[in-house]
Structure 1
Amino acid sequence: MWPQAKTLARISAAVLGVCLFVLLFSVVVEINGNWLTQHPKAIGGKLELSTLDLSQSEPIPLAGEWQFYWQQLVMSESFDAEIDSPVELLKAPKSWDRQTFLGQQITPSGFATYRLRINIQPTSDLLALSVPVMGTAYRLYVNQTLVDEAGQVGTNKQDSVAQYAPKIVQISVPNGQLDMILQVSNYELAWGGQWFSMTLATADKQFQAHLKKLIRSVSVAAIFVTIAILSLFHFVLRPSDLLPFLLALSCICLGLREVETSHILYITDSVSLSFNTAIRINFLTFYLALPLFTGYFRLSYPEEFRRLPLIAICSITAVFVVTTLFTPPVTFSYLMAYFQYFALVVLVYGLYSILLAAYRKRTGARLMALGSILLFSLSINDIFNSLGIISTVNMAGLGLLSFALCQNYLTYVRFINDSRAMQTLVVQANQDPLTLLFNRRGLMEAIENIDDEQRHNSAHFCVMLIDFDHFKLLNDTLGHDAGDKVLAQGAKIMQSVVRKEDLAARWGGEEFVIILPSTNAAGAQILAEKLRIKLSKELSLLLDHSITVSVGLAQNLDNERFADCLKRADKALYIAKENGRNRVVLAS
């Protein structure tokens, strides 16, 4: 079994290496695709795409400067007439509460109108807009036609209804002019407006990009679920080890978070979650993952990750969890920024602890450090991006996945090593180290099986009890090394004489017992004589000293248990000793 375990560990290490390489490659592709690719930007509320062939282009983000009208819901059919305040420009995608309007900081709660005019090449191709989630209700008009909406846009909290509803909207623009009006209201969260960028492409390109994102998200979620199931399986096999259980809970949280943040359920119309349920899943999975991961660190490296910080992390997280469960989104969403700063501190401490464990050469710490560095780097990117410190794309999901894979590999290897150690202990407990035969404890299971067979089928068996004659004198004369050699070589001779189905064991001291299933007394007596002669001849030749054995033999009576049969064999052995030794005596 051990060579198989080593092979499985090597295969798992190879699979882990491939997975980490794929994840790192995905990060590089993500960076290259989102940071280095130069897309046209909207300037002054206008986006010029007339030089691009949309049929050959990937989806283009509608990012840059949008016209912005705060606290106004301007209708597209009479746009210019309804404007009663100066035109301001606002960057999108970006929450409006992180920007200013007429020199004043915009409040999270309120309503507004965005406008963007786009010039494209006249085309008969069907185009498509990918509309992400907005903060938190919206109506979208294209060329004075309502093409999409989510929730209910209102001018006050009572009239506004929040909803997440990302989708792809198909449009036709034969004249090459798009006048986009986006009305948004937010009274539910601490941030509002365009959180993510809409994209424009031909319908084919848009659906292809959509499918790629869907496959990526489903794959990531599936890996998390698979790791969770495997970890729960390990935990069921060994409930005393909490590491697989913590890893399973962490992966369940991360899998749920991936499903929610990628909006798989909305896009595929699988399940319709209410806004309050979705936002709570988003927050709670983020909150709970932190103490679960730190608990894993604590159990793995208790000397580096102290108990007091873990208690503090769990206590602080509990406050955020309770607040999220029992207050409305407009209340608990304001706390997210504080938790992100707190998570940043915990990440730094966790990374320090893991690097310290790696420096001290703790088991598995180097691999854990690799996963932690990936997680730390990509989580910092996401936290800074969500706080508005930098403008990038969210990639913490890949970091979490790489970290979970490292954890799963280490948990699996630990499980294999623990199983190997347990098997070694079982062997040591049941095997005599000198003769490598079963000891008395190791023979107990076989004895129970024999008694069961006797009870149900009235099966016959014989018991042979073998004792080396004058063994103490042998030890005193030739030394204990010689005595050990007699016992060890004698055990090998016994195994060479008995059948495969027979069981030989060291019963204690210089006594050995051999169980002969499905054997009558006559056959057992022949085998015992053969064994007595062979032991005496070969062992005497080995030590150049006379070695003999006495054998007590008994066949079980009807309904007789092994213990009673052994007692009769022991009496027969006593008779053999009394009658001069070096003989086989069959019990009556």
Structure 2
Amino acid sequence: MLKLMGFVSGRLQSYKDVWSKSLSVTLFFITSLIFFPLIYHFSIALQPSKIQASNGLVSIKHSDFSSRNTLALAGEWAFYWQQLLDPEQIKSTKVSPSFVQANGGWQSQSNKQSYQAIGYATYHLDLSLQTNSNNLALQIPAIESAYKVFVNSDLMATGGQVSDIESSARPNYHTTIVKIPDGLTHFSITLQVSNYHSSWGGLWKPIVLGDIHALHTLQRDKVALSMFILGTLLITVVHSLIQYFLRPKDNIPLVFACLCILLFLREFTVEHMSFILSTLTGGFVLITKLNFFSYYAGFPVGLYFFHLCYPKEFHRKFCILMYSICTLFSIFVLVFPTRYFGGSVVIFQLLAVVIMFYIFQRTWLAMKNNRRGAGVMLLGSIIAFGFVFNDILNMNNLISTGRFFSLGVIGFIVCQSFVTNGRFDNYIDKNAALTEKLKERNADLELLSGLLETKVEQRTQQLQKANKELKALANNDPLTKAYNRHGIQQYIMAAFERYRRTQEPFSILILDYDHFKQINDNYGHDVGDLVLMTGADLIKQTMREQDKLARWGGEEFLVLLPGTDLEGALSIGQKLKDKISAKPIGQPLGITVTVTIGVAQIQPAESFDKLFKRADDALYKGKQAGRNQICH
């Protein structure tokens, strides 16, 4: 009887545990769904739209502004190297300016001419507005490393002390918002910059033009995000130190607390938070050194954290080598002047990539070896390092997505906290669990077997579902449901293989919508998306079963035609062109759209790049011939 009661009690407890975990998972996903809009707001929505200046001139329409009423003034600004000119001197000077991009500094590789980081110069941009400049302002970013901003002839803002003599120059980070006088339809922006203290000179990010309230809101939101990150890091530090106090023999919480402190310093020194330290003596140097030190020291501390978590998977000698190299970089930052930091960044970024891949590989091995929490830790490192890669690419102007690492920190902390708390909960409940297992050993073994089978089946199903979803995300365009570039590669390779073995020909069509930008400008991007979706559906209806459709980029699509020569490809292309132009798209607007198609058939010993270029050249020829054409 007692054995039966114990068995029933064990069953009830197991059902309660399953219910508790299911409820926790459900609440976690509900919280995540609430958090996603915040991620979008603080990452994507905060990025202003861009307008490209040309030869120091830009004309701005009201429609150029994004929904946030902000516009980054990118493109070519007039540039006077080794000259500090005020607006009146620019009007009277006979010296022709060069033109540089308004981001990446004046030594950026995107400029036609590269300049040394150390020096001084003047940027100038003439703006023409469609309407009066009522309630407009400029958001001045952190400029390396001292500046003066003029609107027309009026000095509007300064940062540090601008000078053509190094001894009298004084650097300072001073981000600010400058109000533009109301009623202007034409005005100029003149920016005097001197740099003797940084490895990058000039404008690193574009100046942003927009409604003054929108700019203040933008600044407020960025500060709010940083305060949220700082608060999260501070709470995590306190929580980790409490865990270390309770179990001083376990160094993992202490190391994680140190890592969070370094992340706290890095977030504390980002551009929109620099006003806190910029008022101090040597604020520029302090901010720069803290920013670089937290970056260089963060990677070895992070590696040491993983090393402590999974010592059997991480190689001690390799880790010591990485610790030593990163320590040298950290000492370099503390000892040397800030103007020499630039070269070290490029080298350290390569080192950081090596460390990140090593952590991925070792944590993956720990997961395969069934180490406690390794799967969750791998997920957290993927989240954090994914955003690190984004920031590295963004820092080098390879992408323009913005700085997202702060969001990755939250994901990593959540995963790490799950593992750490699980470890400590396990310690606390260990004695009670052992006692319970001794009392009901046979019943527990039977129950454990059933639960393990259930969990394995559930996790297998979840993994299969996740793999299907990941494959769809990786291979398909989310808007048109056609293949993306990655998804169609397997079919292109198969067509090349058949051609190599049997000489079976195949062709490709490059299809591009005519005047698509006008559709977006006149009707909005929602209608533009509808045009792309409807057009893709029409193409799928017209294609043969063996043909494959991929969205190649923007409004450009690629159709792979296996077993089809040039004559057959032209016939299919004509059907596609007629099908799309015959049906008005975007009801009830009734937009008639046309497409231009370039056609090419594979030739002997030809690569896909050459095949694609011939089709693309044919497409260009069709565009030049008046559009709504099919050419080969």
Bucket of the pairwise TM-score, normalised by the shorter protein: 0.5 to 0.7
| Residues in 2 aligned to 1:262 and 1:33: alpha-carbon distance in whole angstroms | 18
Structure 1 residues 527-583: Cα deviation after superposition (integer angstroms, max 9, x where no partner): xxxxxxxxxxxxxxxxxxxxxxxxxxxxxxxxxxxxxxxxxxxxxxxxxxxxxxxxx
State the 1:271 CA deviation: 6.9
Shift of 1:147: 0.2
Match status 1:88 vs 2:76 = no
Which runs of structure 2 are paired with 1:116-265 in the superposition (5 Å)?
Answer: 116-123=125-132, 125-265=134-274
Q: Secondary structure of 2:288's match?
A: helix
Q: 1-side partners of 2:53 and 2:133: how far apart?
A: 24
Matched, 1:50 2:61: yes
SS of residue paired to 2:178: strand
Residue in 1 aligned with 2:109?
Answer: 99
Report what 1:408 is aligned to. Answer: 417
- Quick one: which amino acid aligns to residue 45 of structure 1? G
Instruction: Return the letter of the residue paired with 1:152.
Output: Q
Following the alignment from structure 1 to structure 2, what is the Cα–Cα distance between the partners of residues 8 and 240?
Answer: 31
Unaligned stretches of 5+ in structure 2? 1-12, 441-632
1:69 to 80, 83, 89: 80
Q: The residue matched to 1:241 in structure 2 has which SS?
A: coil
> What root-mean-square deviation, in Å, do the aligned CA atoms of Structure 1 and Structure 2 show?
3.2
1:481-500 → structure 2 map (5 Å cutoff): none
CA contact (8 A) 2:172 2:278 kept: no
Within-5 A mapping of 1:298-337: 298-337=307-346
Per the TM alignment, residue 174 of structure 1 is displaced from its structure 2 partner at its CA by 0.8
- Give the distance between the partners of 1:401 and 1:74, measured in 2 at CA: 46
Shift of 1:100: 7.4
Q: Distance in 2 between matches of 1:346 and 1:281?
A: 21
Q: Distance in 2 between matches of 1:386 and 1:175?
A: 35
2:82 alignment partner AA: Q
Structural mapping, 1:427-466, within 5 Å: none
| 1:388-399 → structure 2 map (5 Å cutoff) | 388-399=397-408
**Displacement, 1:33?**
3.9
- C-alpha distance in structure 2 between counterparts of 1:124 and 1:80, whole Å: 22
Shift of residue 422, structure 1, vs aligned partner: 5.2
DSSP 3-state at the match of 1:41: strand
Q: What secondary structure sits across from 1:158 in the alignment? A: helix
Question: How far has the Cα of 1:280 moved from its partner?
Answer: 0.9
Q: Give, in whole Å, the separation in 1 of the partners of 2:208 and 2:122.
A: 18
SS of corresponding position for 2:269 = helix
Identify the residue that residue 378 of structure 1 maps to in structure 2.
387
- Whose relative contact order is higher, 1 or 2, with alpha carbons under 8 Å and at least 6 apart? 1
Taking a change above 3 Å as real, the CA distance of residues 20 and 353 of structure 1, as seen in their structure-2 partners, is farther
Residue 70 of structure 2 is matched in structure 1 by: 59
* d(CA) in 1 for partners of 2:364, 2:250: 24
| Match in the other structure for 2:614 | none
Deviation, structure 1 residue 400: 2.4
Distance 1:123 1:267 in 2: 35
Amino acid at match of 2:69: E
Asked whether the equivalents of residues 135 and 193 of structure 1 are also in contact (C-alpha less than 8 Å), the reply is yes
Is residue 114 of structure 1 aligned with residue 123 of structure 2? Answer: yes
Do 1:265 and 1:272's aligned partners in 2 also have CA atoms closer than 8 Å?
Answer: no
Decide whether aligned partners of structure 1 residues 261 and 295 sit closer, same or farther in structure 2, where only a CA change above 3 A counts. same
Give the residue type in structure 1 aligned to 2:214.
Answer: K
Kept in 2: contact 1:53–1:121 (CA 8 A): no
2:123 alignment partner, SS class: strand
Partner-residue secondary structure (3-state), 1:420: helix
**1:74 to partner: Cα distance:** 1.4
Give the distance between the partners of 2:68 and 2:244, measured in 1 at CA: 49
- 1:9–1:413 contact (8 Å) kept in structure 2: no
Q: Which residue of 2 aligns with 1:79?
A: 90
Task: Identify if the C-alpha distance between structure 1 residues 14 and 231 changes in structure 2 by more than 3 Å, giving closer, same or farther.
Answer: farther
Cα distance in 1 between the residues matched to 2:165 and 2:115: 16
Return the letter of the residue paired with 1:41.
Q
For residues 62 and 367 of structure 1, the distance between their equivalents in structure 2, rounded to whole angstroms, comes to 42
**What amino acid sits opposite 2:220 in the alignment?**
L
Given that 1:45 and 1:117 are in contact with CA atoms closer than 8 Å, whether structure 2 keeps it comes out as: yes
Partner Cα distance (2:63, 2:129) in 1: 7
Pair 1:188–1:281, CA change in 2 (3 A): same
In 2, Cα distance between equivalents of 1:17 and 1:174? 50
Answer whether contact 1:247 1:408 (CA < 8 A) is retained.
no
SS at match of 1:393: coil
- Greater shift in the superposed pair: 188-197 or 26-35: 26-35
Are 2:295 and 1:286 aligned?
Answer: yes
Please state if 1:347 is matched with 2:339. Answer: no
SS at match of 1:96: coil
> Which deviates the most, 269-278 or 405-414?
269-278
Conserved? CA contact 2:118–2:199, under 8 Å: yes
Partner amino acid, structure 2, of 1:173: D
- Write out per-residue CA displacement over residues 115-141 of structure 1, whole angstroms, 9 at most, x where no aligned residue: 111122443632221111011111100
Q: Does the aligned pair in 2 maintain the 1:143–1:178 contact within 8 Å? A: yes
Could you tell me which of 374, 378, 382 is aligned with 1:369?
378
Q: Tell me, yes or no, if the aligned pair for 1:351 and 1:376 is still in contact at 8 Å.
A: no
Is contact 1:93-1:195 (8 Å) kept? yes
Matches within 5 A, 1:525-536: none
Deviates more, 1:292-301 or 1:395-404: 395-404
Q: Contact (CA 8 Å) 2:175, 2:271: kept in 1 or not?
A: no
TM-score normalised over the length of structure 1: 0.66
Q: What CA distance in whole angstroms lies between the structure 1 residues aligned with 2:57 and 2:307?
A: 54
Letter of the 1:325 partner, please give it: L
Residue 366 of structure 2 aligns to which amino acid in structure 1?
Answer: A
Show the counterpart of 1:418.
Answer: 427
Deviation at 1:360, TM superposition (A): 2.9
Cα distance between partner residues in 1 of 2:27 and 2:232: 13
1:49/1:120 contact within 8 Å kept = yes
Partner residue of 1:276 out of 256, 281, 285: 285
Closer/same/farther in 2, CA of residues 293 and 24 from structure 1, 3 Å limit: farther
3-state SS of 1:40 partner: strand
Letter in 2 for 1:301: Y
- Measure, in 1, the Cα distance between the counterparts of 2:245 and 2:18: 22
Q: In the superposition, relative to structure 1, how do residues 185 and 83 fare at CA in structure 2: closer, same or farther (>3 Å)?
A: farther
1:296 counterpart SS class: helix
User: Any stretches of 5+ residues in structure 1 without a counterpart?
Assistant: 435-588
Q: Is the 8 A contact 1:135 1:189 kept in 2?
A: yes
TM-score (norm 2): 0.62
Q: Distance in 2 between matches of 1:24 and 1:370?
A: 17
SS at 2:168's partner residue?
A: coil
Q: Name the CA shift for 1:347/1:328 in 2 (closer, same or farther; >3 Å).
A: same
Aligned position for 1:483? none
Which one-letter code corresponds to 1:67 in the other structure? A
* Deviation of 1:166 (Å): 0.8
Work out whether residues 59 and 201 of structure 1, in 8 Å CA contact, stay in contact via their aligned partners in 2. yes
